[in-house]
Amino acid sequence: MTQHRAAAGAEGGAERELVVLLDEEHQRVGVADKATVHTRETPLHLAFSCYVLDADGRVLITRRALGKTTWPGVWTNSCCGHPGPDEDLDAAVRRRVGQELGMRVSGVRPALPDFRYRAVSAEGIVENEFCPVFWARAEEGPDPDPSEVAEYAWTEWADLVAVAERTPWLLSPWAVEQIPRLDAL
């Protein structure tokens, strides 16, 4: 485990991860244990997605670990996660990038602050998230947690846009929706 992942807090420890439940106006209405939220009837909750860029402007994409409950082995954006009940999104992005990718980022900024999606995995699990999307700048190379990330690649943005357009089945459903919207900015 890298020192960044250790400092960010190892996921899956004794402490349960809580997610923020939302109403249809995206107002907080409660919290729930993450382990109980992603089901066939997932309530709307707060999440985030992040696209990490390197100094050359390439974007980091990751392939979800094969042990993931939903969309195992699928390529996606750099990192996703859920802020804690009292955690702002910037801090949550930095924390989760540290946990999942073992790296530090700077310049975290919103790109699609009002993104929302709903998708159903092949396993029947529903993703139902209000999921602001962020850009961030890599401060170092990744050292990903293998329970989260099977592999990663740095790619040109135009190449990722082409994949989302021509072969969307290779990507997570949220990335397929996010990428053209990000490209239109």
Show pLDDT as tens, one digit a residue, over the chain (185 residues): 444 444 444 444 447 899 999 999 999 999 999 988 989 999 999 999 999 999 999 999 999 999 998 999 999 999 999 999 999 999 999 999 999 999 999 999 999 999 999 999 998 999 999 999 999 999 999 999 999 999 999 999 999 999 999 999 999 999 999 999 999 99
Catalogue all structural domains in the chain, each as residue range(s) with its CATH number: 46-184 (3.90.79.10)
- Feature table: binding site: 38, 45, 82, 100, 127, 129
Calpha distance 53→74 (Å, rounded)? 20
- Could you list the beta-strand ranges (E) of the chain: 18-22, 28-33, 45-46, 48-53, 59-64, 75-76, 79-81, 105-112, 116-120, 126-130, 133-138, 149-155
DSSP single-letter state for residue 66: T
CA distances to 55, 94, 123, 154, 156 from 48, in Å: 23, 11, 22, 20, 22
Residue 129 known to be catalytic: yes
Q: Which of 80, 131, 148, 177 is catalytic?
A: 80
Residue 17 known to be catalytic: no
Q: Which of 79, 129, 131, 177 is catalytic?
A: 129
Beta bridge partners of 28: 22
Does the predicted model carry a pTM greater than 0.85? yes
